[in-house]
Structure 1
Amino acid sequence: MKELIAHNLEDIPFVAKVLLEQLGNRKVVAFYAEMGSGKTTLITAVLRAMGIENLEGSPTYSLVNSYDSPYFGEVMHFDVYRLNSLDEALDAGIEELLYSGAHCFVEWAEIVEPLLPEDVMTVRIQVNESGERVVQID
C-alpha cells in the first residue's frame, strides 16, 4: 500500500501521477471516500495525466462519462452514487462496462463492489484534521 498526502490542490497532479504509476496492468480503480473529500478532483487529475483534455466533470446523473486517451485508449469515469441497488447497476450495464477492457475509475465503488474484478486497484481518500487529503493506494 502506498500512502500520499495532498497538502493542497497543487499536490493533486502529483498524486494522480503516482496513481497511474501504480496501476500496472489493472484496468479498474475503485474510489472510496466521504462526500466532498476529493474523489472527482483526483479522477479529473488522473484523466488529465492520461492526456484527456475535454473533461465533462462528474457523471453523477449519467452514471458514466467515456473518454478517449491518446496514451491509454478508452477510459470511463463512473459515479454510481445515485444507484440504489446492485440490480440497478446490472440493469444499467455497469458490469459489461467494467469488463470491456477500458480503464474504469469508479466513484462510490462500495455500491458495485460485487461486480468489481479481483485485480481492482483501491484508492481511499480521507480528510485529516488539517484538511489535507490522505490518499491510500492499494
Structure 2
Amino acid sequence: MNIVFSLDQIQEVAEQIIASNPNKIILFNGEMGVGKTTLIKQLCKSLGITDATSSPTFSLVNEYQIPSGKKVYHFDFYRIKQETEALDMGVDDYLYSGNWCFIEWSEKIESLIPEEHSTINIKLLSDGKRELELV
C-alpha cells in the first residue's frame, strides 16, 4: 500500500492501515520528525484507545488498553545502545504476546524482530506531505 497524505488526513490514513489487516507487529521507519509518533497516536485512536498517548522515548515502551481487552505496545528504541537493553526489558514477551506492537527505531533491535511483521516507511515530501509505504 502506498499513500501520499497531508497531516490533516492522518485519521483516514490510520483507518486504511488498520483495514488493510497488517501484521500486529509494525515497524515504523523514517527520519526524525517525519511523523512516526503522530501516526502511531492516530492508529491507537483508530483502535479505540481514548487515553492520552505519547512517545516512549525515555521509558522505551508505553502500554495502552484497547476496549476489546487487548493491548497496544508502543516502543521507541532511539536511545538504546545495544540489543541487550531491549532483552533486559523483556521485549520478547511483548513481541510474542499477540498484541499490537508499534516499533520506532527498530533497526536498533534488528535481530530480535519476529519474521512475521509489517513495515511502514514514511518520507517527508518537498510540499510538506508524507509518502507512506506499508509492506
User: What interval of TM-score do these two structures reach, taking the shorter chain for normalisation?
Assistant: over 0.9
Which runs of structure 1 show a deviation greater than 2 angstroms over 4 or more consecutive aligned residues?
Answer: none
Unaligned stretches of 5+ residues in structure 2:
none
Structure 1 unmatched ranges of 5 or more: none
Relative to the length of structure 1, the TM-score reads 0.92
TM-score, normalised with respect to structure 2? 0.94
Mapping 1:49-88, distance limit 5 Å: 49-71=46-68, 73-88=70-85
Percent of aligned pairs sharing the same letter = 40
Q: Does 1:97 align with 2:94?
A: yes
| 1:55-75 Cα shifts (integer Å, max 9, x gaps) | 231011111111111147111
Asked whether the 8 Å contact 2:41–2:53 carries over to 1, the reply is no
2:20 match: secondary structure: helix
SS at match of 1:54: coil
- Aligned counterpart, 2:3: 4
Structure 2 residue identity aligned to 1:29: I
SS in 1 for 2:26: strand
Report the number of matched residues. 135
Q: Find the aligned partners of 1:130 and 1:56 in 2 and give their Cα distance.
A: 28
